[in-house]
A and B are shown apart, each in its own frame.
Chain A
Amino acid sequence: MIRWHQQALATGCLLNLMLAGGCVTSTVQQVRESATGMNETESVVVLSRKTRPSQEETEADFVNCISKSMRGGKQRVNVVGEQAFRDALFPWFEPRTAPVNASDLPELISQPELAERLASLGLRYLIWIEGDTDRTDSSGSLTCSVTATGAGCFGFLTWEMDSGYEAQVWDVRSGNLAGRVSSEAVGTSYMPAVVVPLPFIAPVRSSACSSLAQQLKSFVLNEG
């Protein structure tokens, strides 16, 4: 009876962990500076800041995730790939030369070659992404051994991830800042291990990506 009770308790704890492990809390905020909207022939590009002193670049797969998410869904947005854009506009969007503020755009676009290339891409909005996902807390311990007869792990780990991203939307046509959209997400992951580790990962970064991409899409299409 006691043994059954212990097994039930252990199973209950595991279920709780599995349920709680997937939880992510995310919030999205938007500040609009000017009216937006785009037609079917226009496109956007999503770029990450790669300025030298910063050691906290936005992850490449996050930028790809935003681009991919904006391309998909009900109302699709034409998104130019980041590398294709940087190559097409080389050298004006390299870390050393990229404009820092939206107010730098008019001077840049006044170069006929650039204006012509941007027009051929149909580019309407430049979206600069800054921020990253960090581990903010962790505890527990886990030990793994590999021997000639087999391998196994024992222990328990838990860690919290925190995503913070901000997107600045620049209107290429007017050379103004159209607005800002930010996304915050927090989630806790667990990994108990009795011989085999069982990771219950909170999808913090992907939650931040989907919520930010959805809001950006809505923002540039002027849906709210």
Chain B
Amino acid sequence: MVKASMSGAVSSMLNCRASSLVLVLVLAALGGCGGASVSVPGLFPVPLVDRIPLPMGLHLDESLTGYVHAEELEEQGEWEIDLGSAQTQMFQNLLSGMFDSVYPVANPAEPGGEVAGVLVPNISEVQFSTPLQTRSDYFEVWVRYRFQLYGRDGELLGEWPLTAYGKADEDNYGMQSREPALQAAAVAACRDAMAFFTVQFRTIPEVRQWLLTEAGGPSR
């Protein structure tokens, strides 16, 4: 027998039809166990900025393209966010919007003569929180990236961190909100990384110096 009781704290599920209320209560009683497994889809826009007139290399390590964050939360089950599968499309779109051309580079220390530099992104840490943990309506995801910039001769010119953040309101995703809301928060974090990178890139001192050398100045 399943028995559930509600008092003044009426949840938003009361907007549902009466016939589905019993089902809701059963699901609510069974809730709490679970977790979620989501993958970020590789659908990202191309930044709308003045392109840097240089050919750019991109090296994506397997540690990035295979990155999966897995975590077991107390009384909330196992959670998994596959970020790696979206990284190739994400960085391809990002750099193709920012540079004249983008080329994959197998070894950033030996980039060959075609590119002015090589960008090597990596994920150093991922954190997330659930609405139950924060007592809010939001899933939140933080992704800490670490970027390396190599010059055309393969020398490491600089490296810098970038922390991206995304959140998603579980109320926007109906009753089975766990997976779509977590996925939306992870997508938002990836978009934030792209946005942050776009506006920050030209302000990094090592990048400014590199742009001065290669393109005659840090164009907008």
Contacts of A153 in B (CB 8 A): 21-22
Interface residues of A in 64-112 (CB under 8 A from B): 86-92, 94-97, 111-112
Quote the shortest CB–CB distance from B189 to chain A (angstroms).
11
Give the total number of A-B pairs whose CB atoms are below 8 A apart: 110
Q: B18, A111: Cβ atoms under 8 Å?
A: no
Q: B192, A96: Cβ atoms under 8 Å?
A: yes
Q: A144, B169: Cβ atoms under 8 Å?
A: no
Q: B195, A91: Cβ atoms under 8 Å?
A: yes
Q: B-facing mask of A193-207, CB < 8 A → 1, else 0?
A: 000111101000000
- In the complex, A57 has a CB within 8 A of chain B: yes
In whole angstroms, how far apart are the Cα atoms of A111 and B46 in the complex?
16
- In the complex, A145 has a CB within 8 A of chain B: yes
Closest chain A residue, CB of each to CB of B25: A144
- In the complex, A128 has a CB within 8 A of chain B: no
Stretch in contact with the other chain, from B5-13, B112-120, B146-154: B5-13
Q: B138, A140: Cβ atoms under 8 Å?
A: no
Contacts of B195 in A (CB 8 A): 90-91, 94, 96-97
Q: A-facing mask of B4-30, CB < 8 A → 1, else 0?
A: 111111100011111001100110000
- In the complex, A1 has a CB within 8 A of chain B: no
Interface size bracket, A side: 35 or more
Q: A143, B5: Cβ atoms under 8 Å?
A: yes
- In the complex, A29 has a CB within 8 A of chain B: no
Quote the shortest CB–CB distance from A203 to chain B (angstroms).
10
Contacts of A97 in B (CB 8 A): 195, 199
A87, A96, A111, A140 pick with most chain B CB within 10 angstroms: A96
Closest chain A residue, CB of each to CB of B171: A59
Interface residues of A in 100-149 (CB under 8 A from B): 111-114, 117, 135, 138-148
8 A–B contacts, CB within 8 A, in A order:
A52-B167, A55-B138, A90-B195, A91-B195, A117-B48, A144-B21, A153-B21, A153-B22
Those 3 A-B pairs whose CB atoms lie nearest each other, nearest first: A91-B195, A90-B45, A94-B195
